[in-house]
Structure 1
Amino acid sequence: MDDEEFFAGSKSSFGVPTGSRPNALTLNDLQNLTTFLKNLGFTMYFHGADITAEDQPRDRDTTGSLASYFNVSSSASPRSMESEASKVLAAAEASINIDHLKGLTTGLLRMIYERDSRRKFLPKDHWLMTSQFNMEGFISAVVEEEESRSRVQEEEDEDQDNDHENDNTQDLDNIMMPSLVGTGRTQRQRETDRLQRQQRKASRKRYLQQVAPRLEILQNLPFFIPFTTRVQIFREFVHIDMMKRRRGYADPETWRMMIMHGPGTEDTIERHRADIRRGQEARDAFHAFYGLGEGLKEPIQITFVNQFGEAEAGIDGGGVTKEFLTSVTSEAFKSDTEALFVENDQHLLYPNPAKVDEIQDYCRSSRMSNEDSRSTVTQLLQYYEFLGRIIGKCLYEGILVDINFAPFFLLKWSLTGGKGSAPSESGYRANINDLRDLDEALYQGLLQLKNYPGDVEQDFGLTFSVTDTITTDPKTGSSKTVTRDLKPDGANTPVTNSNRLVYISYMARHRLQNQPFRQTNAFLGGLSTMIQPSWLSMFNQSELQTLVSGTSSSISISDLRANTAYGGLYVIGNDGLEHPTVLLFWRVMESLSDEDRRKVVKFVTSTPRAPLLGFGALVPRFSIRDSGEDEGRLPTTSTCVNLLKLPRYKTLQVLREKLLYAVNSGAGFDLS
């Protein structure tokens, strides 16, 4: 079902009967259904080890054990639901094992949750299952489980490497020694080894069910846990990874000092530093740091070079790194010259679906050799990969950037099962609902086609083909069109009333998945180099946007004030009293509208949003320093260190006037 059909019952948004099944469930039915499925899913994951243990002697009869562990609180759902669950489990006794039932339940829950994430229809906090957990030590317990999972994963990776090695050896034996005496014994030994590895894999799976039930739920049904708790877990995972990689030193300067005393240190330090030209931040960063790969997680040392070729002064206590990352993202994602990313109608970004086609067309028109053409396309994809790493670096360091991505693109982040440089989009299902975030006109057109009461073939004249537009000259805006088949011989296959749903499915898959596949996969490969995909899978699309750019909730002045540092004459002395100008500043901030508060926050930090966990999580801290007693001067900022340089104004009116003029005029960055 599309969303319009789902919410409108048996009538479409065009006022005509839908061409497919109407929604037979009311919203109240859906709420009860998800309550039932939540309890079923929780039981299978959280008590999975116990169920499996009871399961073994009974020859995979899962029903009794599952029913014995199933529990529904009377406050969560009607009492009848518990007995109904037992009936469902009894009916499944002869044909469904626990893993299959778990997969069905998880898949259905995630699909309903995905729709609820797009267009909210269930009550607030409906998905939470916090009453089933001891939330007191939940975060620390999950961290311990992640450590256990990492050890198990290392063993599994080692077994996979052995599998590949043995497969290669067997292939070589088949070629070189097809009839040697004793080969059969060797093959039997390999088969025994393979079975043993399968048994170890099954054993590891049971072990994870036993030692990591919370982690299992976080990775499969993360919406059972509050968002803020998941963010704290995410930050803990990153912190542990950071400490491991940096040998226990999070501070960049301490890490560099430690590295300098080890072997091959000069090369390591040099590879992590770069001179970056103003106005060329993204390209310079790519050439300097692409080769680092996962090493971009380590501290980097940046020297900015101005338009005159002179190095700018700067001490990196996190500030220069922040300015570097925000500068790179600003240039790469908002530049119109290369159009690597494009905007939808809501000005939300996603990879340009036609970019690879445009580069290939340019190579052909320039009569490049095949080798040069492949090299050009490869470099383009490497650049997408690098931008994925840059966004991953921002997430890794906890640095917010003012970039907003389209929901369907963010959904791919959370559903990718990828690892390293070759992620997979297998978890993402292209559908008509996501087309709304890509192309509103196409979405409405396909809805009309789906619900059209007349003869589709005669009145629309469509075939199973699609026309893509390729820009041939970005400067003039000239373009050309290319027609492609959506299926073999698609141009000669008409769209009819009976196959229109298939056509809509193919069209959604082409626009959302096939056309931007190489660009998206390259980006996801870079992102997963920095952030484990399993960590991203804890969040839906809107939550991931919050991780990238901060919360959209109102700016809390009390939170900002409690987490502000002061410098110069504004430092709070032993008496604990704030400077008179600082007092005026907070009075002005409290009097401002939320829109103007956001402007001030963006003026100082380069993003208009607060970190999800509050301003105490802002890196570096929000700071205010005096900048002289000339009341004719405007406030200025050093956004790289989140610093507001505020002259010592003496009246409320002057401070308010100067502050609002500065934030609205775009003035601000000052090297003094």
Structure 2
Amino acid sequence: MLVGFYNKDNGALEENTALYLQKAVFVPLTPPEDAPAGFLQRAYAEFAESFLAQPLLLLENSTVSLAGQIDVDALSQAVVDVYGTSTQKPRPSSEELIYLLAHVVDLQKQMHEKSQGSLLYLKAVYTQLSFLSNNIRLRFAGSSKADDVKPAQDKYLEAHIRSLVDKEEITRLLKRFTASQTNSMEQNYASLLAGYAITLTLFLKNLSFTLLYNASDLLKNDCNNAVQSAFSSPKPKRSEQVGNYYVVPGLDFRMFKTIVTTAIQMLYERDSRRKFLPTDHWHMTSYFDMTQFVPAVVTEEQRQHDLRHAGNAEEDEDMDVDDEDSEDGMEDHSYSASSRAFARTSRYALLERMRRQREKSQRDRLLATIGPKLEILRNMPYVLPFEARVRIFREFVHLDKLRRRDGFPDPDAWRAHMMDRHGGWGENSPARSVVARHSARIRRDSIFESAMNQFWELGEGLKEPIQITFIDDFGNEEAGIDGGGVTKEFLTCALMQVLSPEEELFESNTENAIYPSPTKFDQARVSLQKHGLVEGSAEWDEQMADLMKHYEFIGRMIGKCLYEGILIDFVFAGFFLLKWALSATDSVYRANLNDLREMDEELYQGMLTLKNYDGDVADFGTDFTLQDQVSRKGDRVLTETRKLIPNGDKIPVTNENRLLYISYVARHRLMVQPHLVTKAFLRGLGTIIDPVWLRMFNQNELQRLVGGDSSEIDVEDLRRNTIYGGLYVIGDDHEEHPTVKLFWDVVQSLPDDDRRLLLKYVTSTPRAPLLGFSQLSPKFSIRDAGVDEARLPSTSTCVNLLKLPRYSTKETLREKLLYAIRSNARFDLS
């Protein structure tokens, strides 16, 4: 009946066709007054299955007129029922279901505001896509025809189904969830959106894992790409086959892998900032034998290290050859002779470059072959549990110590080895010279400055064991045998001194998390100008270089703590820690509004107000500039106007560009302003800790790596890993001393806050090592401190030692212990 209204000659609808079409279609969808229950549901189900699932060009040219009379929720429910069990009819074929999807999407677009509130529509789309994803891929992936020669119906299907991933459509779907209502139905449908996000991340995670873990197999057919590209320009291809995988046009395997892994990394970073995915969502432990994973990764790392060093040596030799060739080509010959020599040199250089490209490609494939677990660890570390990555980190450090110390990671064993290697400890012995460079006399009143003056020239040699002799306020040497304790005290005290607010090298936010002062460089510049120094003069450059040295040496000191497994009681800002993790790769830190909140709550609130302002933001008179304070705290306030973009002072902030302005403000505060000091710090940190190792952790995990575990103190684990001295030494009967038993009974009864105070009192940090107290260095120790029960317990934090008098009752022990830890009684730094 409906076909008669369609002009087959010119493809146009005849006059009044839309009106007849509406009557023919919608009369059955309009229930009469005496309609039985369920009439509308059955009518829409038939409309969906029998009408919308057919390739009807008449319908596809009439959606504007049809959409106005459709009940959005009834149609959406009917579509969901097609995939459910509510109908007894056989489900339409895949091709018919694809037409149904395209027609529903098309009708929804024409419904405009009617469909904005339809959460059932979201469920309908989600249901269809979940069922048809493979069919849609197969239906359109093989189509290579140009649009002008495709059948009209194919163009219709493709256009509307692909529109689901258009920015406009995604914005329309997401807009619903910015509303303030939170009733149960909206929460249910919000879970559909969450399900979509989880499905997407699972797909990307599995794809990335496959591309990384099976890279060597996927690269088999990519062997000669570098050589081929040296001879000719690549021709455009519809697709490029790499192993068993097809890469999209114009995108080789490596670039495709980079894009996919970068996308999943960005999702992971967002989830790390503010959790929106389920616990353990990122883990893929079932893909590995976890009992063998850590040693396997360490073995891979050693083999890759050896291969990289061999490759670097070859590249150095190649560089020497290139330099010699260049010099030959520049000899003073006649023009024709010079031309011939240049031509020969150019051909030779080209062949050499091709050879190196080929060898590098082969080496990359070999690295991928012998190190698939490392590829996962470096690019998708989050697929492994945090504790496994901590073990790997410690193993990497241990392996590095073995390499650097000739197989003697223990400090005393290394020093003895140096003596044997260099012929004893005589006055002119090289061993004495080496150890002397790693020794320092440190003044208590200027620990950091003393350390920087004496250890700066070591560079990465700070990784080696160091010996510290403290000098008291009267210039006398303090007694103390290191064994790891004095080194720990030196590092923690030096950092406590230099990171204190009085030094103004670091700032803290409202949560007391610290980060390098973004204004320190500006403050130094203003201070030098005030003292009459000219920018660019030798003294100016020296002062600025000294400031950068301070930040770099702080990085080295924190790196040394990580290297030696020494916990420090500092909390770093998340955005700053994220820069640590990203320093190992070509990835760059991406400033965002959430991180700005962590740095400057007041500025964040201002940007949020600007972002959500309903009026015309041009009324604020803001332009693309920002005022930076360049004076020190306490001094008269001085500011400088900084242009966020070229000619920013001439570009007003409008409703259209305000998001761009906000992004530039965040970028300036978080990246541009602190760039120099952050770069210096990361350079120092990277001198001691391979940045690739830090890449294994997100910002929250790095904080735990630096400062320990914030979970509840495990008293039994601490007890198992405690050693005793003096009368408290456990004898052959394996029985603890009565006072020791009382001590553990008291500690077990304490709330976790007091347990943390005890741990901080003894070790200087309130958090446990990440892998338990067996990792604490030096070990937690208890030694008797005499029979005077009036004394308080005291500590030697440098060696994690508690000096505990021999209390006879639990009440006395509890009273004295709590008084000591809660009042933070003076540490006995003997």
TM-score relative to the length of structure 2: 0.72
After superposition, residues 581-620 of structure 1 pair within 5 angstroms as 581-620=739-778
After superposition, residues 157-176 of structure 1 pair within 5 angstroms as 157-162=312-317, 165=320
In structure 2, the residue matched to 1:296 is 462
Distance 1:585 1:7 in 2: 61
Give the drift of 1:35. 1.1
Distance 1:266 1:102 in 2: 51
Correspondence for 1:393 among 560, 570, 573: 560
In structure 1, the residue matched to 2:805 is 647
After superposition, residues 552-571 of structure 1 pair within 5 angstroms as 552-571=710-729
Give the drift of 1:11. 6.2
Give the drift of 1:439. 1.1
For the pair shown, the structure with the greater C-alpha radius of gyration is: 2
Distance 1:211 1:62 in 2: 25
Give the drift of 1:377. 0.4
Give the drift of 1:47. 1.3
Distance 2:356 2:559 in 1: 34
In structure 1, the residue matched to 2:819 is 661
Matched residue type, 1:292? L
After superposition, residues 145-294 of structure 1 pair within 5 angstroms as 145-162=300-317, 165=320, 177=332, 179=335, 180=338, 181-261=340-420, 262=422, 264-294=430-460
In structure 2, the residue matched to 1:129 is 284
Distance 2:480 2:668 in 1: 47
Aligned in 2, Cα 1:40/1:376: closer, same or farther, shift over 3 Å?
A: same
Distance 2:284 2:454 in 1: 47
Aligned in 2, Cα 1:624/1:24: closer, same or farther, shift over 3 Å?
A: closer
Distance 2:191 2:277 in 1: 17
Aligned in 2, Cα 1:634/1:122: closer, same or farther, shift over 3 Å?
A: same
In structure 2, the residue matched to 1:496 is 654
Aligned in 2, Cα 1:434/1:167: closer, same or farther, shift over 3 Å?
A: farther
Which has the larger displacement, 630-639 or 498-507? 498-507
Across the aligned residues of Structure 1 and Structure 2, the Cα RMSD in angstroms comes to 2.5
Give the drift of 1:183. 2.7
Aligned in 2, Cα 1:27/1:56: closer, same or farther, shift over 3 Å?
A: same
Matched residue type, 1:133? F
Query: Residue 29 of structure 1: SS of its match in structure 2?
Result: helix
1:98 aligns with 2:263: no
Number of residues of Structure 1 aligned to a counterpart in Structure 2: 629
Give the drift of 1:516. 0.5
Correspondence for 2:617 among 432, 450, 456: 456
Aligned in 2, Cα 1:12/1:286: closer, same or farther, shift over 3 Å?
A: farther
In structure 1, the residue matched to 2:702 is 544
In structure 2, the residue matched to 1:421 is none
Distance 1:56 1:487 in 2: 44
Correspondence for 1:435 among 596, 599, 606: 596
% same residue: 50
**Deviations 1:136-159 (Å, cap 9, x if unpaired)?**
210111011111221232244335
Query: Residue 683 of structure 2: SS of its match in structure 1?
Result: helix
**Deviations 1:182-223 (Å, cap 9, x if unpaired)?**
232122111211111111111111111211000001000110
Aligned in 2, Cα 1:634/1:123: closer, same or farther, shift over 3 Å?
A: same
Which has the larger displacement, 435-444 or 548-557? 435-444
Give the drift of 1:427. 2.3
Matched residue type, 2:659? L
After superposition, residues 628-647 of structure 1 pair within 5 angstroms as 628-647=786-805
In structure 1, the residue matched to 2:197 is 30
Matched residue type, 2:564? E
Maintained 8 Å contact 1:14/1:448: no
| Consecutive unaligned residues in structure 2, runs of 5 or more | 1-166, 182-189, 226-236, 423-428
Aligned in 2, Cα 1:35/1:94: closer, same or farther, shift over 3 Å?
A: same
Give the drift of 1:368. 2.0
Maintained 8 Å contact 2:798/2:829: no
Matched residue type, 1:355? K
Give the drift of 1:13. 9.5
Correspondence for 1:465 among 612, 621, 625: 625
Maintained 8 Å contact 1:143/1:237: yes
Maintained 8 Å contact 2:584/2:694: no
Query: Residue 463 of structure 1: SS of its match in structure 2?
Result: coil
Aligned in 2, Cα 1:408/1:163: closer, same or farther, shift over 3 Å?
A: farther
Aligned in 2, Cα 1:11/1:42: closer, same or farther, shift over 3 Å?
A: closer
Matched residue type, 1:99? R
In structure 2, the residue matched to 1:348 is 513
Query: Residue 26 of structure 1: SS of its match in structure 2?
Result: helix
In structure 2, the residue matched to 1:573 is 731
Correspondence for 1:116 among 271, 289, 300: 271
Maintained 8 Å contact 1:274/1:303: yes
**Deviations 1:238-285 (Å, cap 9, x if unpaired)?**
001101111122222222222234262222111111111112111111
Matched residue type, 1:28? G
Give the drift of 1:662. 0.4
Maintained 8 Å contact 1:394/1:400: yes
Matched residue type, 1:495? V
In structure 1, the residue matched to 2:185 is none
After superposition, residues 478-489 of structure 1 pair within 5 angstroms as 478-489=636-647
In structure 1, the residue matched to 2:668 is 510
Matched residue type, 1:298? E
Distance 1:173 1:504 in 2: 56
Which has the larger displacement, 263-272 or 175-184? 175-184
Matched residue type, 1:405? F
After superposition, residues 137-148 of structure 1 pair within 5 angstroms as 137-148=292-303
Query: Residue 303 of structure 1: SS of its match in structure 2?
Result: strand
1:525 aligns with 2:680: no
| Consecutive unaligned residues in structure 1, runs of 5 or more | 16-22, 68-88, 419-423
Give the drift of 1:170. 6.3
Distance 2:488 2:511 in 1: 27
Maintained 8 Å contact 2:797/2:829: no
Give the drift of 1:12. 5.8
Give the drift of 1:443. 1.8
Aligned in 2, Cα 1:66/1:603: closer, same or farther, shift over 3 Å?
A: farther
Give the drift of 1:668. 4.1
Which has the larger displacement, 537-546 or 189-198? 189-198
Distance 1:498 1:236 in 2: 52
Distance 1:668 1:604 in 2: 11
Distance 2:310 2:179 in 1: 54
In structure 2, the residue matched to 1:44 is 211
TM-score relative to the length of structure 1: 0.89
Maintained 8 Å contact 2:739/2:807: yes
